[in-house]
Amino acid sequence: MSVMFFQHCSPADTVETTDAQGQPDSLVQQEEDELVEGEVTDGATETLEKIKTDEALKQKPLLISITNLKSTTAPVIFSVYANEATYLDPGAHLKTYRFVPKGKTLRIRLTDLEFGTYSIAFYQDMNDNGRIDKNGLGIPNEPYAFSNDIRPKLRAPSFKDCKFVYSSKKNIIKVKMGK
């Protein structure tokens, strides 16, 4: 019997991520699917069923669109938080990502997050020093944004303000970078 399988090709874009301790984590990949033909032999029916089940359970990537970037070359860095108690605490993030834009809008496809509830803090590192620069009052000097496109006035937003549920029905985030 001849069947068609999906096989993942090499990534078009690969970005290194870091964990809460700044250590290299998994790779984020924008994958392309290639259809290949294969033969099912005796004893392979169970494997074929597992492949079909895995494909059915495969989750959608988290799609992020960041507009209003102030620079087309300064990296955009963002941290994903999953814990309300430690939201925005240094080193308490689940993952941190760094992307270099190619225009005033950055579109990202994350494939390494599980479905769940998260809050994300974004900033554009204008001087590429790896941290968000702030004035004497603690107000960022560099463009920043938060998930749910929250615009804080007098204080940093809470986890609750920025949290979103990433699921098969909600997998798109849109934010506008501001200062």
CATH number at residue 143: 2.60.40
Q: What's the pLDDT at 179?
A: 81
48 plus 81 within the same structural domain = no
pLDDT of the chain, 179 residues: tens digit per residue: 433 333 333 333 334 444 445 554 443 433 333 333 334 444 445 554 555 555 445 689 999 999 999 999 999 999 999 999 999 998 899 999 999 999 999 999 999 999 999 999 999 999 999 999 999 988 899 999 999 999 988 888 999 999 999 999 999 999 999 98
Reported pTM: 0.68
Q: Does a structural domain hold residue 25?
A: no
90 plus 154 within the same structural domain = yes
Q: Does a structural domain hold residue 72?
A: yes
C-alpha pair distances (Å), 60 with each of 82, 110, 138:
19, 9, 37
Among residues 170, 168, 173, 155, the alpha carbon closest in space to that of 67 is found at: 173
Tokens 């290299």 appear where?
24
Interatomic CA distance for residues 103 and 143, integer angstroms:
15
80 plus 165 within the same structural domain = yes
110 plus 42 within the same structural domain = no
Total domains in the chain come to: 2
150 plus 134 within the same structural domain = yes
169 plus 114 within the same structural domain = yes
Q: What's the pLDDT at 90?
A: 85
Q: What's the pLDDT at 14?
A: 36
Q: Which residues pair with 173 in a beta bridge?
A: 64
Q: What's the pLDDT at 17?
A: 47
Q: Does a structural domain hold residue 26?
A: no
155 plus 100 within the same structural domain = yes
43 plus 122 within the same structural domain = no
11 plus 88 within the same structural domain = no
Q: What's the pLDDT at 57?
A: 56
Q: What's the pLDDT at 16?
A: 44
Q: Which domain holds residue 47?
A: 2-19+31-57
110 plus 163 within the same structural domain = yes
Q: What's the pLDDT at 40?
A: 40
Interatomic CA distance for residues 103 and 145, integer angstroms:
17
C-alpha pair distances (Å), 41 with each of 6, 7, 44, 113:
18, 18, 5, 35
Q: What's the pLDDT at 9?
A: 31
45 plus 104 within the same structural domain = no
